[in-house]
Structure 1
Amino acid sequence: MTARKLSISVTPEVEETIKAVAAEEGKTVSAWLAEAAVEKAHLAALHAAGRAAEAARELVYESEHGALPEESRQRAREFLMEAGLLDHETWPTVG
């Protein structure tokens, strides 16, 4: 595997945290950061897949039963936001 060098900027507090956690796990800072980046990318992909699946379920429901009532949409929106699975920017617009 060919490794590529990246340069990042962090605050001194973040630098110390990264170094401490990497050392606790017996990893180099580079290895720890690479692993963290892969985990973050994986979570982002899961998030996107979850949003796509939810949109598909909504389309199927609406094709069979008509539009979801706004009250149901709002409850779902609040639940997903409280669970950390949705922010204000990712909620699809209606119409």
Structure 2
Amino acid sequence: MTARKLSISVPPEVERTIKAAATEEGRPVSALPAEAAVEKAHVAALHAVGRAAARELMAEYESGHGKLPQESRQRAREFLVEAGLLDDDARLPVPYGTALS
């Protein structure tokens, strides 16, 4: 695998923590932020799949039964927030026709 170099900015206390952890583990300083970035990207990809599945389920249901009531759409959105698939600001009311992502 070819590695690409990136530059990141962190507060001094985070820099100290990263350097201390890398030293403790006997690893390069760049390994820790790189692993964190890979994990974050993986989680984001899984969340995107979850949101897509939720949209697909809602579309499938609504194609056979009509639009979900506003209260049900709001409960679905709150579930996605609790599952970590949407941000907390997603708790705002959801008008009909609004995607859940």
Q: TM-score, normalised by structure 1?
A: 0.80
Matches within 5 A, 1:1-40: 1-40=1-40
CA deviation after TM superposition for structure 1 residue 3, in Å: 2.7
In 2: Cα distance, 1:5 partner to 1:86 partner: 30
C-alpha RMSD of matched pairs (Å): 2.3
CA deviation after TM superposition for structure 1 residue 4, in Å: 2.5
Deviates more, 1:61-70 or 1:77-86: 77-86
Higher relative contact order (CA 8 A, sep 6+): 2
CA deviation after TM superposition for structure 1 residue 18, in Å: 2.1
- 2:79: which partner in 1? 79
Which blocks of at least 5 consecutive residues in structure 2 are unaligned?
Answer: none
Cα distance 1:73–1:6, how it changes in 2: closer, same or farther (>3 A)? same
Q: TM-score, normalised by structure 2?
A: 0.76
CA deviation after TM superposition for structure 1 residue 28, in Å: 2.0
Letter in structure 2 aligned against 1:33: P
Instruction: Give the length in aligned residue pairs.
Output: 94
CA deviation after TM superposition for structure 1 residue 23, in Å: 3.9
Identity %: 71
In 1: Cα distance, 2:20 partner to 2:76 partner: 39
Q: Which residue of the other structure, out of 74, 93, 96, is the alignment partner of 1:94?
A: 96
Letter in structure 1 aligned against 2:68: L
* Aligned structure 1 segments of 4 or more residues deviating by more than 6 angstroms: none
Which blocks of at least 5 consecutive residues in structure 1 are unaligned?
Answer: none
